[in-house]
């Protein structure tokens, strides 16, 4: 199985979130189509870098790019500010003088395999020491709030899609917000919440901003169960079967869907949010999107800024994280982890949920159990110091050992985010496991209020 995958093209397809499945050509890491990129024939589209174009066709393409009309319309919006949440130049200089361009999965692998075996083992020891010092406990917080019973009991509009695993995740996210006091439970029904909001209680929350909203069904549940009356959905992609139609049918609910990259969103410039208390939510905000959302919510606040009452972000896809956008570089450097080591750590995180071991870990919810299982696999084995390359060492690692390392790296990355929210902005923040790993292995929730 491993030999077969090693012959595949290494080109990363961002929209499909996987590597190209074609066979790579001889003496190259890429297939015939994608090898041209190495020769400089393919370049990112200047309008939207998520897709590429042949350099010879660039002039023709920029006049007809399907996203041109959207980009022109977006540039006229007050809340659009290119790169406002991307990370500033001073942060980028920390730890490196390298270019701030995107570090791809292939580049991260090259960093890993360019290490000596001794450097690799030293990095593993460093990760284990750091994890032991800062990630002592991440509590389980699997909540099913009473307010969400209409969803749990399927008492919702039959036209709304219902998948139990998603409903359980959404309910637990909202339950954790309720537990820290950011959301108010309706004692009788949703109408009681609406009347409370009209009384303008200083502690009431009247709006929600959902980052990476997708179709918007996390916010749909929040509006159904907690009486939120202002809804802002932030999503750069276009989706069918959105919750928007159902939300718009709610009486007195104001909905604004902002099709924009979180990196470019100036939340302070959204006039209808000025001075409004709100909660920020995100379910599975991939890689750097979590860091961009934290900057968007918590940076550059002033008297007219929206009032953040609570935050709940379910993190995922740590292998996509970038040094440039990461929110707490200062903290990572203080741990003795360099920029290159950070990128290698993000590469390790994919081992936590890859297919090599995931099917063998049903219902495993605790990293200590993973670690003990990994130790059992290693009993009686002696490390082979004759291995000449890191690539050989990685291939020799047991799946459980790789999983443990991946989870530790994910938790270190999330711990840095939590500490940034706490130290820089004084919010009471913590990490919890909001759902069993048998439902989703990406089960870490950053909450603050």
* Cα→Cα distances 68→49, 56, 71, 233, 360, Å: 12, 19, 5, 22, 46
The low-confidence residues of the chain, meaning pLDDT below 70, are 1-6, 14-15, 17, 27, 35-40, 50, 88-101, 186-203, 300-304, 355-387
Predicted local distance difference test score (pLDDT) of residue 4: 45
Predicted local distance difference test score (pLDDT) of residue 301: 61
Predicted local distance difference test score (pLDDT) of residue 100: 52
CA distance 128 to 409: 9
pLDDT tens readout for residues 146-195: 999 999 998 887 777 788 999 999 999 999 999 999 998 765 555 445 44
Answer left, alpha or beta for residue 94, where phi above 0 means left and psi between -120 and 50 means alpha. beta
Given a contact cutoff of 8 angstroms between Cβ atoms, the answer to whether 278 and 309 are in contact is: yes
Predicted local distance difference test score (pLDDT) of residue 386: 59
Element at 234 (helix H, strand E) = strand 230-234
The DSSP secondary-structure symbol of 80 reads B
Predicted local distance difference test score (pLDDT) of residue 2: 40
CA distance 163 to 396: 39
The DSSP secondary-structure symbol of 90 reads H
pLDDT tens readout for residues 425-438: 888 999 999 999 88
């Amino acid at each position: 199985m491993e030999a077969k995958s090693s012959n595949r093209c290494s080109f990363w397809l961002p929209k499909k979130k996987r590597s190209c499945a074609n066979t790579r050509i001889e003496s190259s890491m890429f297939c015939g189509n994608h090898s041209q990129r190495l020769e400089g024939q393919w370049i990112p589209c200047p309008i939207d870098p998520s897709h590429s174009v042949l350099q010879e066709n660039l002039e023709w393409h920029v006049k007809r790019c399907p996203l041109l009309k959207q980009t022109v319309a977006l540039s006229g919006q007050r809340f659009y500010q290119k790169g406002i949440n991307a990370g500033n130049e001073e942060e980028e200089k920390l730890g490196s003088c390298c270019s701030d361009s995107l570090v791809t999965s292939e580049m991260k692998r090259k960093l890993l395999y360019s290490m000596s075996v001794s450097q690799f083992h030293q990095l593993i020891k460093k990760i284990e020491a750091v994890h032991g010092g800062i990630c002592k406990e991440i509590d389980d917080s699997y909540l099913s709030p009473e307010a969400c019973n209409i969803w749990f009991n399927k008492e919702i509009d039959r036209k709304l899609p219902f998948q139990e695993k998603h409903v359980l995740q959404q309910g637990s996210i909202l339950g954790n917000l309720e537990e820290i006091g950011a959301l108010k439970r309706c004692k009788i029904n949703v109408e009681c919440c609406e009347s409370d909001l009209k009384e303008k209680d200083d502690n009431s929350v009247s709006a929600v901003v959902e980052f990476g909203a997708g179709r918007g069904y996390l916010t749909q549940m929040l509006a159904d169960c907690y009486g939120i009356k202002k809804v802002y959905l932030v999503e750069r992609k276009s989706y069918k079967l959105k919750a928007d139609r159902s939300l718009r049918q709610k009486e007195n609910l104001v909905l604004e869907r902002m099709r924009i990259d979180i990196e470019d969103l100036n939340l302070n410039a959204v006039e209808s949010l000025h001075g409004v208390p709100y909660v920020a939510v995100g379910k599975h905000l991939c890689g750097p999107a979590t860091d961009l959302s934290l900057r968007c919510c918590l940076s550059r606040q002033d008297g007219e800024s929206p009032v953040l009452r609570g935050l709940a972000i379910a993190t995922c896809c740590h292998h996509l994280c970038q040094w440039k956008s990461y929110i707490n570089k200062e903290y990572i450097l203080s741990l003795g982890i360099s920029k290159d080591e950070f990128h290698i750590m993000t590469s390790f995180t994919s081992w936590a949920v890859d297919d090599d071991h995931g099917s063998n870990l049903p219902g495993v919810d605790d990293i200590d159990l993973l670690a003990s299982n990994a130790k059992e696999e290693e009993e009686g084995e002696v490390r082979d110091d004759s291995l000449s390359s890191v690539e050989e060492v990685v291939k020799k690692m047991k799946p459980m050992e790789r999983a443990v390392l991946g989870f530790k790296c994910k938790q270190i990355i999330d711990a840095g985010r939590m500490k940034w929210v706490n130290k820089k902005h004084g919010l009471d923040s913590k990490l919890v496991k909001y759902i069993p790993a048998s439902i989703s292995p990406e089960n870490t929730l950053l909450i603050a209020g």
